[in-house]
A and B are shown apart, each in its own frame.
Chain A
Amino acid sequence: MSTAAVEDLDTGLILAAEECPADKFELYHSFSPTDDVIIRKLSAHGPVLIRGGRGSGKSALLIEAHRRMKGSETVFSIYMSLRYLPLLQSDGAEYVGHFCSLLSKAISQELSDEKSDVLFEFAENEVALQRSLLNLARALNKRIVILFDDAAHIGREKPLEAFFDLFRTLSSSVISCKASIYPGVTKFGIRFDVFNDSTVVDIIRSDVSKDSGYFSEVIASRYPRLADRSIFSDRLTPEVFAKLLGRAVVGNLRGFILACSRFDDNAKISIPEVNACLLAMAQDYYWPLMDEVAPKLGVYEPLIVPAGEIFEKIIENVARPVRHGGRSVAQDRVTIHKNIVSEYAKVFEILEYLGFFAKREASRGMKSGGRGPVYAINLCSVLESVPNSRLTIEMINDWIEGKPELSEIHLSSGMFSGVPMPTLSEDHALGILGKEIDVLAKSKAYPYGLTVDKITRLREYGIKTIQQLADATDAQLMRIEMVGPVAIKRMRDVLQQAIWM
């Protein structure tokens, strides 16, 4: 798939795939043969969970599967985003009620869009919903695929058990549920067995040594100018450029698009320009990501500080041999003993979710004994920490081909023992909702932010927090002077980006 994010040049907004206008989706997205396999799994009969970090392209795959099923003679599909605040703030029967109502509306809308004569019986509970869905399948004489986007986010586990219960209950011979989840979702509830009740599909794109053309295709589709050999120096080809950027952001498509967009104004691209881009990404993308995401982590918000410290120690571990002259190229992958990963599980999940690193292998034997997962580290942070932070052709080749020996963090190293781990509270409301709307101003964390003028107008109207802005209706916002449909759309988009991952 070419991109999970779309840049709207008119507004400067960076939009997630689920916010891409339907009529522009095809223009901004193309899909690789590997993507086609995932899309087939999302279209076929059977329950599927698609797992990937933030910006990995889950939504685009779900939307594309829905697009391909439209007009099918055998399948009726519904794409439904679960980005709905009341779902986030409820649990149990209340969650089920919201869910059934939302899904009923989404199905009715889809039937209307398809100009179908069939009506969906609105359902308020799971029994009624199941019955209505079965009746719908019978009336349409088709099987049904329901694609749930944003079903599970880190730090928002409270309603997860209810969701997976519904996922399991609704799945049948004619109803196939598919959902996107993040790495590390563990709270599936007592009724849901992840191995028996679903097939989990991981999105793994961090290894560029094998899939030779993937990121080149993305560039050709999204930034054709960057596929032109003539703008590159002799030592840099478009293929190497694409692979390096893809590997640098450990395959994260949102990061990849942001990195590519930095070359908009470059008439010529050589290694120093790429060097500057990677270092800027470390400063402007990765670290601000921590600030942006922290208040969205709910109960895990206090873990963002130790996450930063642990990541710095991992980086230090791969940079040290270069600093001391033992290596000329820093190691870009690390095996970490499974007991360490287990002890700091949520921290590792947060880092993986944000794309600071990506899990490459689930279990590898270590030289010092024991086993652990292998993580590919983002090259922006690695480059930032090596002496001179200078990118060389040797580094580029070694990193693309995955040549450097793996770094290891042993159980006995005690590397993270100095990192204080906070005690987590039992329940923690999402910090972002209580924040002042000023945080929505344009910044490194929110490059798509609101103008000072709009923030001032909102404040004068009495909307001071993000929760208040989320609760405000369009009609209420329209009463504010100089706020019209365009400004409201922008506010809603920014709000989506702020609240959701």
Chain B
Amino acid sequence: MRWRPRNSEGDGLKLGTLVCGVPAEACAASSTLDQLSASIDRFSDKTIDFLANSFDEDAKSFGAFCARVTLENAFAALVGRFDAFRMLYLAEFQAQSSYDYGNAAKSGFKWTGDVLIKDKPLSTLWHVDHEISRISRALFSDHMEVLFWKPAFIAAIDHINELNVDGFERLMAIEPDAFIPQARGECSSMYSQLSKGVHWEFFVSSVMMDEVSLREVMTKSLSVVSALAFVSHFVPTAYRALDRGAAVDAYLQFQGRV
């Protein structure tokens, strides 16, 4: 029987399932994704609670933090599902006695390097002189876009067209060539904006995020993460991918909660 996401009643379908996919045979990679999935559920649920209720002091103080953790954990999970080596390395490294809370780990998961490319992009994607170290495997790198995201996005919108289901209008309005450039731009600004809400680095009150700005960036972070997570299940080599029908169900169920 095909695995189906849980219904939105009871425990309800959560973002962690959409991002981390179907449970797999027990192994280090799968348990790492289980861990990330639980974390994504915890913080995205809190984000949704804040958005659904009157925006109280807790929402103002911790809304950005919850959205930011959701964003980071979700992208770590997607990196891991595309590139299990990176995820396994991080899981193993954190289990070592040398892993020290008091010191920054140079090889730790980083926004610049794991999500966005660290160095200046190559002028051409394919050239015999390119060193392998210059070929970025960051989630939004140009090579990742061409090899993983764009074909997956096209497969996803074709599948939606075959099913003729509602609820995907936002995705259908995006050009395949624009999907990752747009997501990259949105995520960069969201990450930066949410960071300011995490660190509370406000020295003048005019730059503090008010309710409308917080609501917007929190909603947008859930929207962008869920869209990327949905498309990730159309990457044929992605680990723990949902089957296509289940991905559609999972996406629609999550949209119903936001």
Contacts and interface: CB of A to CB of B under 8 A. Distances in A.
A199 B170 CA distance: 13
A41 B213 CA distance: 8
A388 B64 CA distance: 60
A204 B176 CA distance: 18
Interface in B174-213: 174-176, 178, 181-182, 184-186, 188-189, 193, 196, 204-210, 212-213
Nearest to B180: A195
Contact of B210 (A137, A140, A143, A210): A143
Contacts of A195: 178, 181-182, 184-186
B105 to A, nearest CB: 29
Contacts, number: 88
A442 to B, nearest CB: 39
Contacts of B184: 195-196
B152 to A, nearest CB: 14
B217 interface: yes
Nearest to B155: A365
A371 B150 CA distance: 14
Contacts of A200: 182
B14 interface: no
Given A40-B212, A210-B166, A46 B206 contact: no
Contacts of A371: 154, 176
Kindly state the interface size class of chain A when it binds its partner: 35 or more
Nearest to B183: A195
A193 interface: yes
Interface string A352-369: 000000011111110000
Given A46-B193, A195-B185, A210-B166, A41 B158 contact: no
B188 A196 contact: yes
A44 interface: yes
A330 B176 CA distance: 29
Interface string A35-58: 000001101111000000000000
Interface string A190-216: 000101110110101001011000000
Nearest to B157: A363
Given A143-B206, A143-B207, A43 B174 contact: no
Interface centre among A197, A199, A207, A359 (most CB of B within 10 A): A199
Contact of B158 (A142, A210, A365): A365
B204 A74 contact: no
Contacts of B208: 74
B161 interface: yes
A82 interface: no
A195 B188 CA distance: 10
Given A195-B178, A365-B158, A44 B216 contact: yes
A360 B175 CA distance: 12
B97 to A, nearest CB: 42
A49 to B, nearest CB: 12
Nearest to B167: A210
B88 interface: no
Given A44-B212, A195-B184, A365-B161, A141 B206 contact: yes
Interface in A393-436: none
B154 to A, nearest CB: 7
Contacts of B182: 195, 200
A363 B205 contact: no
Nearest to B177: A363
A75 interface: yes
Given A44-B215, A193-B185, A195-B184, A174 B207 contact: yes
A133 B154 CA distance: 44
B28 to A, nearest CB: 36
Interface residues of B, number: 33
A187 interface: no
B238 interface: no
Given A193-B185, A195-B181, A364-B157, A74 B210 contact: yes
B91 interface: no
Contact of A363 (B175, B188, B204, B210): B175
A74 B184 CA distance: 29
A140 B205 CA distance: 10
A46 B210 CA distance: 12
Contacts of A137: 206
B206 A40 contact: no
A228 B168 CA distance: 33
Nearest to B215: A40
A173 B207 CA distance: 6
B48 interface: no
Given A362-B175, A363-B154, A365-B161, A43 B212 contact: yes
Given A142-B206, A361-B173, A46 B189 contact: yes
Contact of B185 (A75, A138, A140, A196): A196
Nearest to A136: B206
Nearest to A139: B206
Contacts of B174: 362
A362 B207 contact: no
A141 B216 CA distance: 21
Contacts of A362: 172-176, 178
A144 to B, nearest CB: 8
11 contacts: A45-B193, A45-B213, A75-B210, A143-B207, A195-B186, A199-B189, A204-B169, A359-B173, A361-B173, A362-B176, A365-B161
Would you list the 4 A-B pairs with minimal beta carbon distance, nearest first? A195-B185, A44-B216, A74-B210, A45-B213
Interface of B: 154, 157-158, 161, 166, 169, 172-176, 178, 181-182, 184-186, 188-189, 193, 196, 204-210, 212-213, 215-217
Given A46-B193, A199-B185, A361-B157, 11 more contacts: A40-B216, A45-B209, A46-B189, A138-B206, A141-B206, A142-B206, A195-B181, A195-B182, A197-B185, A362-B176, A363-B157
